[in-house]
Homo-oligomer: A and B are copies of this chain.
Amino acid sequence: MTAAAKMETEMSTSTLTTNGIDTAALRQIAQDVAADASKGLARFTVSTAWKGGTRTDTHVAAWHLAGRRLPKDFTLRTDEPVELLGGNTAPNPQEMLMAAYNACMTVGFVALCALEGIEIKQLRMDTEGELDLRGFLGLDPAVKPGYETLRTTIHVSAKATKDQLATVLEAMKKTSPNRWNLGQPVALQTEMVVA
């Protein structure tokens, strides 16, 4: 079933759903958080275990909304490709970061369209970035270990004008959490406990 077909099915069960998003519930969340900011404090936590070589398993056991613990149970795997001394059994951390970036922008774009009553037929985001491994390998301190630039192409088909979609895009760019996390510096605190 295509995303559009799934959306139609979901729409038939609720007149308030656009793009599979319950817009009435979304407006209610915004109203609640506007009235009491503590209702919108969302804490996320992950635990990453080394599994030998370049393999990791990250477990997500819960998140917290407004101080309330909400259980989850998901595991995310990473590995490096053979050329980077791994077993190529999973995507690597760089690809996972870009997936997290695209996924966050997708949710923002879809929700903003829903609030505007714009029905999306298809949406795809392609992102690429290049690393200069001299940074990771510590060969040259002048070479940054991360991405200089991430380039994204958003392919969208929707019942809207180009101007309407451009307005949604600008609003998404201002409000996407992971776009902020990559585009602006996040303070990184790191503590090490040696057993």
A residues at B contact (CB < 8 Å): 3, 6-7, 10, 19-22, 25-26, 29-30, 33-34, 37, 40-56, 58, 60, 63, 65, 70, 72, 74, 76, 78, 80-81, 83-85, 88, 90-104, 106-108, 110-111, 120, 122-139, 141, 144-158, 162, 165-166, 169, 171, 173-195
20 pairs of residues in contact across A and B, judged by CB atoms under 8 Å: A20-B54, A40-B133, A41-B132, A43-B129, A43-B130, A47-B124, A48-B99, A49-B123, A50-B124, A70-B83, A74-B90, A93-B100, A96-B96, A97-B181, A136-B175, A136-B176, A145-B176, A146-B177, A149-B189, A185-B185
* Contacts A45-B127, A181-B147 given; does A97 touch B100 at CB 8 Å: yes
Q: Within 8 Å CB of A25, what residues of B? A: 85
Q: Is the CB of A78 within 8 A of B100?
A: yes
Q: Within 8 Å CB of A134, what residues of B? A: 33-34, 37, 40
User: What is the oligomeric copy number?
Assistant: 2
Q: Within 8 Å CB of A95, what residues of B? A: 44, 46, 60, 63, 74, 76
